[in-house]
Structure 1
């Protein structure tokens, strides 16, 4: 392991310790985050801020979420050991990277063409083959590989469309930042044979979901 890699791992470890001091996150999630190179997924010029608990700007008015928010969203998803996850809003690809270490397959949709292309290149560079990135409007879902065990929204939304719940397995979980009374709340939805059960967690801050595709 070269010096640069060791330094990044030390920074990642300190970042996860900071998260641990703020709230309870399962150790398996913290271990994954401690071994992931977040610096590769932040914009150029922001490397010094890669391991701080800050959201950082991307192109097209998009953002890479705070590591603390990523940890909370991942915790609510119960992703460890499951087969497949659909992510709505790939962004830089950092959240998909974390999920790729917990689940067998990740299908991530990004509506900004440049971000989708860059995310694909990053996963190829890292030798990660279980993340599939598609350039499309995430609200369409990805029917080819449905139904999914988990669906994660990496953009805020007022309510999850019924068409996306249709792509979730019975017993599956969807997690989204739901817009409610001027706030965004990390909300977990469990699909049962009798309907959808809802559970609310912490406040959060995401860019809102947008219709259509963008270049």
Structure 2
């Protein structure tokens, strides 16, 4: 497929600043990012920057998606919960790494567009729900991994309860005036670790969650 060569070039560009495992490279190259950006920005789909969507939201840059995927679980697993589906691009990448992906979106326009994309692409292992992501998705818990695709001030106890013992949670969080991607592992029923992995950039916090707008400088 034509997009795979372009996606490989994108991965090569990403790896100039951030090393990727073969598993994540394969996942990124298996997804046509052009399907997830507004048509007017199709020519910029594989550039390493964020792009605007509806409702003043942004589709994460490929670099951010690559980082989050790498930090989450390069070896994959059975199920992953994503909080903040957005365009659906991150969920689609995760679907190449996990057997089942459960994604929640709270903005109706984004939810409807993502749902249409998944149907068009026949993504049978992605399940999406319109709801407040901080409630999680109890019906399918516990999850092997949980990913916040939006910055949070703290991790809700409800979400911690839905993570499998020994599972990994990755979330961009506010720390010392900066926004840092952090990784936790659940042990004895609580989150441990809190590794600070890399700095990221998001818009102002609203309702405890913020959406990414990272751009090339």
In the other structure, the counterpart of 1:185 is 180
**Shift of residue 10, structure 1, vs aligned partner:** 2.1
SS in 2 for 1:22: coil
1:90 aligns with 2:85: yes
Encode CA deviations 1:141-190: one digit per residue, 9 max, x unaligned: 11110111111000000111111101111101110000122211110010
Structural mapping, 1:33-112, within 5 Å: 33-112=28-107
Q: Is the 8 A contact 2:142 2:164 kept in 1?
A: yes
TM-score, normalised relative to structure 1: 0.91
Contact 1:139 1:211 in 2 (8 A): no
Give the alignment's Cα RMSD to 1 decimal. Answer: 1.6
8 Å contact from structure 2 (residues 7, 46) kept in 1: yes
Shift of 1:136: 0.6
Greater RCO (Cα-Cα under 8 Å, separation 6 or more): 2
Alignment CA distance shift 1:135-1:89 (3 Å): same
Equivalence for 1:119: 114
Structure 2: gaps spanning 5 or more residues: 209-217
- Aligned residue number for residue 20 of structure 1: 15
Q: State how many pairs are aligned.
A: 207
Residue 34 of structure 1, CA deviation: 1.5
Cα 1:122–1:168 shift into 2, 3 Å: same
- When normalised by structure 2's length, the TM-score is 0.91
Secondary structure of the corresponding residue to residue 92 of structure 1: coil
What does residue 200 of structure 1 align with?
196
Any stretches of 5+ residues in structure 1 without a counterpart? Answer: none
